[in-house]
Structure 1
Amino acid sequence: MAAMGRSNRADRGTGRGRTAAQPQPAATGPGGRTHAQGPLSRPVGSGLAELRPDRDRPAAWSLLIDGAPQSMVDLADPSHLGFEYQRRLGHLIDLAAPPGRPLTVLHLGGGALTLARYVAATRPRSRQQVAEIDTALTELIRTELPLERGWQIKVRGADARSVLERTPEGSVDLVITDVFSGARTPAHCTTVEFAALAARALAPGGWYAANIADGSALPFARSQIATLGAVFPELCLVADPAVLRGKRFGNLILAAAHTPLPIADLTRRVATDPTLARVEHGRPLTDFAAGAVPATDTTATPSPLPPPTAFS
C-alpha cells in the first residue's frame, strides 16, 4: 500500500489512457466524509491513520499510516487512480479482460479499497474479495469513505497469506498483492511458497500482480523477480527509470502469468501516464535480476525500510 512515488496530480480528472467501461454513478451521490469536515486522524491496528482532503478534487481523500501515503480515494469518481503505482496496477486490471467484462479478483491488502473500487466501477458485476488484517482501518474506511451499494466486495479481517491459502484452486482471474506492514512488505508474503499459492488460486489465463518497494541496488526487487520466475514463466516489471537506476526509493509493479502478458499494450498505456515509467520483460528483465536468489519461507526477509526522505 505504501506509495513512495508522486501522485498523478498533473493528470487528475483527465482519464487519459483508459478504455475500460465508464463507472456507474452512485445512486445517492458520493456520500461519506466531506472536505468541510476537515482531516481526520485515528489510531488503528497498523498505526495512526490519517485521512487528508485532496486540494484538487472536492470528494477525494488520501490515506496515510504513520505518515506514509497509502492510497487515494475519490468518492465522486472511483475510476480515478491518484497514485502512480495504483495507476500502473489499473492498467493491468484494464488489460486482464475486454473492457467492461466482470472479473473475479482477490486483493491481498486493502487499505482504502482504492483498487477494489476501481474494479467495481469499471467492471460492474465483478466479484471481489479483500484480505485486510487491520479491521479497525477497514471500519474507519467503511464509515468515512463508504463503498457504493451493489458492489460485490467482501472484506475479510485476516492475514493475506491465510486468505490466499483458503482460496479455492482456479477460482480467481486476478490476484493483486499490495501488502504492507507500515512501509514494508512482510517476509511471509514474498516467497516462492506464497507465489505458488497465488498461482494455484488463478483460473486458466489469470494474472498475478504485486506492488513492492525498493531502492539503491534494488536487491529486494531482484529477489522478487527471481521468486516469481521460479513459479511463473511470464514476467514483467513496471517502474520509474530513476527507481530502476537506484537513484531513488520507490514502487515497482510486478506482473506474472502462465500465458504471455500483453507487453505491447501495457507499454502503450504506461506511456500515456503523466509520470515516466519503463516496462521491462524478457531478456532485459532476466539480465536485471541476474544472480538474484528466490526467497523461500526459510530465507525471506521483509522489504527494506524506506529512507527518511521517502515521503517528504
Structure 2
Amino acid sequence: MEELTPARTGRKPRAPKKTIVGTYPIDTGEAAIVADPERDGGYVLEVNRVPSSYVVPGAPEVLEYDYMRWIAGFIAGHELSAPFRAVHLGAAGCALPSYVAHRWASENIAVEVDRGLAELVRWAFDPPVEIRVAEARAFTHALAPGSIDVLVRDVFAGPDTPRPITTVEFYRAARRTLAPGGLFVANVGDRAGLPVTRAELAGLTTLFSHTAVAGPAEMLDGRAYGNLVVAASDAPLSFAGDVPWRDGADYLDGTRPNRD
C-alpha cells in the first residue's frame, strides 16, 4: 500500500517517520488507529469503533488481549513440531499471527474479508505474516486436505461469530484441512449459561476426538458475559495459559450443534 490519507486530518503520512494515528475508510465502514498514551509505540486498532487489536510494531511478542494469550496457550500446550503452518481466520491487526510467527518460527497466513482493512494493516503495521483477502469459510473449504497444523478462528460480526463458521459443516471442512493431530482453536463470545459455547462444543465433538475450553472461572461456570476459547483436535489437548481450562465433554448437556 503506497499511501493512505487519514480521513480525520486529510494529510499524507510522511516517510521515513510515517504518522499512522488517524481514522481511515475501509470496505465495511471505518478503522481508527489510536496511540496508547501509556506505552510508547503501542496502538489500538478499532474497527467500526470496536477495539480489535493491540499492536506494537516491531514487537510481535506483545499480546495485550487476554483471549489471544489463551489461544496461544493451547498452541503452546499442543505437541507441534516447529516450524508448523497456521491459518488465522480473522486478521484485524495481525497481533496473534505475528506472535505465533515470532514465537515458533512458523508460517502464518492471516485471512481478512475486508480488503481496505487488510491494506491499512499492511501499510501501518507491516506484520511479518501473509495476509489474504477472503471470506473465512470459503478460504477454509479451499485449503488442501492436511495442509495446515493450526487453524485459528477469531471472526466476529459485532458481538457474534457469523453462523456459517460455527456449524458442523464448517468444522468438517476445518478438520479436513488439518494434518494428523492438528489443532483447531476459536475465540467465542458468550453469555450466562454458555449457550453459544455449548453449541460449538457439541458440533466439534461430532468430528474431533478431544475438545477443551479455557477462560476465567466465572465464564467457565456460566455466570458472566465475555470470551472463552475452545479447542479441538484428534490428539490429546493441553493448555499452557494463565486461566483455568476444562474438558469440553463437561459442557455436553444435550444442546444441539449448529448446522447449515
Q: Give the TM bin, normalised by the shorter chain.
A: 0.7 to 0.9
Aligned letter for 1:192? V
Residue 270 of structure 1 pairs with residue 236 of structure 2: no
Aligned letter for 1:105? A
Q: Measure how far apart 1:243 and its partner are.
A: 2.1
Does the Cα contact within 8 Å between 1:216 and 1:248 map onto a contact in 2? yes
Q: Measure how far apart 1:33 and its partner are.
A: 7.3
What residue ranges of structure 1 are gaps of 5+ in the alignment?
A: 1-30, 272-276, 298-312
How far, CA to CA, are the matches of 1:75 and 1:212 in structure 2? Answer: 27
Structure-2 residue corresponding to 1:170: 146
Does the Cα contact within 8 Å between 1:33 and 1:144 map onto a contact in 2? no
**SS of structure 2 residue aligned to 1:270:** coil
How far, CA to CA, are the matches of 1:230 and 1:141 in structure 2? Answer: 37
How far, CA to CA, are the matches of 2:178 and 2:84 in structure 1? Answer: 12
Structure-1 residue corresponding to 2:125: 145
Does the Cα contact within 8 Å between 1:32 and 1:145 map onto a contact in 2? no
Structure-1 residue corresponding to 2:97: 116
Q: Measure how far apart 1:109 and its partner are.
A: 1.0
Structure-2 change in CA distance of 1:104 and 1:38 (3 Å)? closer
**SS of structure 2 residue aligned to 1:256:** strand
Residue 296 of structure 1 pairs with residue 259 of structure 2: yes
Does the Cα contact within 8 Å between 2:74 and 2:241 map onto a contact in 1? no
TM-score, length-scaled by structure 1: 0.74
How far, CA to CA, are the matches of 1:32 and 1:219 in structure 2? Answer: 50
How far, CA to CA, are the matches of 2:162 and 2:172 in structure 1? Answer: 17
Structure-2 residue corresponding to 1:188: 164
How far, CA to CA, are the matches of 1:95 and 1:215 in structure 2? Answer: 27
How far, CA to CA, are the matches of 1:32 and 1:200 in structure 2? Answer: 45
What residue ranges of structure 2 are gaps of 5+ in the alignment?
A: 1-14
Aligned letter for 1:120? A
Q: Measure how far apart 1:51 and its partner are.
A: 1.3
Does the Cα contact within 8 Å between 2:154 and 2:186 map onto a contact in 1? yes
Does the Cα contact within 8 Å between 1:60 and 1:75 map onto a contact in 2? yes
Q: Measure how far apart 1:44 and its partner are.
A: 1.5
Deviations 1:240-291 (A, max 9, x none): 12223444321110010001112xxx2xx323xxxxx32011xxx4343312
Structure-2 residue corresponding to 1:75: 57
How far, CA to CA, are the matches of 1:287 and 1:255 in structure 2? Answer: 14
Structure-2 residue corresponding to 1:88: 70
Structure-2 residue corresponding to 1:158: 134
After TM superposition, the structure 1 = structure 2 runs for residues 199-278 of structure 1, keeping only pairs within 5 Å, are 199-262=175-238, 266=239, 269-271=240-242, 277-278=243-244
Name the structure, 1 or 2, with higher relative contact order (CA <8 Å, separation 6+).
1
Deviations 1:133-154 (A, max 9, x none): 101001111111112xxx4x32
Structure-1 residue corresponding to 2:107: 127
Aligned letter for 1:155? I
Structure-2 change in CA distance of 1:157 and 1:217 (3 Å)? same
Residue 280 of structure 1 pairs with residue 260 of structure 2: no
TM-align CA RMSD: 2.0
Structure-2 change in CA distance of 1:136 and 1:292 (3 Å)? same
Does the Cα contact within 8 Å between 1:65 and 1:182 map onto a contact in 2? no
Structure-2 change in CA distance of 1:55 and 1:248 (3 Å)? farther
Deviations 1:203-231 (A, max 9, x none): 11211001110112221111011011111
Does the Cα contact within 8 Å between 2:78 and 2:237 map onto a contact in 1? no
Say how many residue pairs are matched: 246
TM-score, length-scaled by structure 2: 0.88
